[in-house]
Structure 1
């Protein structure tokens, strides 16, 4: 096995690191938004705290990498309070075509259709039910 093949095999076996940067947002209907992210986008719910329709804290991980979302029920007047629907995020995916097909099949509000960009990404954008903007594409950012 050459070095490239050995490195690829080791990378495939390496555990996905725990996220150290999280997108945080608040929602008017946090339980429904969690369900939407799991069903429509494919995030994985790993933690949810709270009673009934109130979500004190929830964590969702992106299955293709080490990123995640923390979200909870919007509570105006708290020190860490942001209006629902004001967040935006970019998520790297290795298969934007399949993900686009999935979100379209679930009647997502696609605001920018799947297309190739001039910077080498293949991507699309969606508005979630709370108004947050999500872009999904192949552009991984610049290496360090």
Structure 2
């Protein structure tokens, strides 16, 4: 469950840019669940008791795909890039972007 301060922007980013489907949402858009190709991600508005000014996560979401090059081509001009498509010594071809909340999303394919 990831937090978002702008649920409408999150819904738009994941459905329009990343082509996820919104499977369920609360009427007030305080919670939603998105899916694509067996991946499910849930978002909620921040818990007021935690009082965190912006979403934080020390890691990333790593999504494996069999079409990383095509995915890179479709996303590279639509997203904030962390690093471009690259082959790594550990046997992966991957790239990373930031979503509208600043979460790091990495996409990789085995070489």
> Which residue in the other structure is 2:30 paired with?
56
Once the two structures are superposed, the pairs formed by residues 27-106 of structure 1 within 5 Å of their partners are 27-51=4-28, 55-63=29-37, 66-77=38-49, 83-86=54-57, 88-106=60-78
Give CA deviations for 1:57-106 in whole Å, capped at 9, x if unaligned: 2111122xx2210101123215xx89414362011111111111111232
Distance 1:88 1:96, change over 3 A: same
The alignment's C-alpha RMSD in Å is 2.0
1:136 maps onto 2:107 in alignment = yes
1:118 maps onto 2:89 in alignment = yes
User: What is the DSSP-based 3-state SS (H/G/I as helix, E as strand, rest coil) of the residue aligned with 1:70?
Assistant: strand
Normalization by structure 1: what TM-score? 0.67
For CA contacts below 8 A with separation 6 or more, give which structure has more relative contact order. 2
Structure 2, unaligned runs of 5 or more: none
> Which residue in the other structure is 1:21 paired with?
none
Structure 1, unaligned runs of 5 or more: 1-23, 140-144
Distance 1:74 1:47, change over 3 A: same
Larger Rg: 1
How many residue pairs get aligned? The number is 108
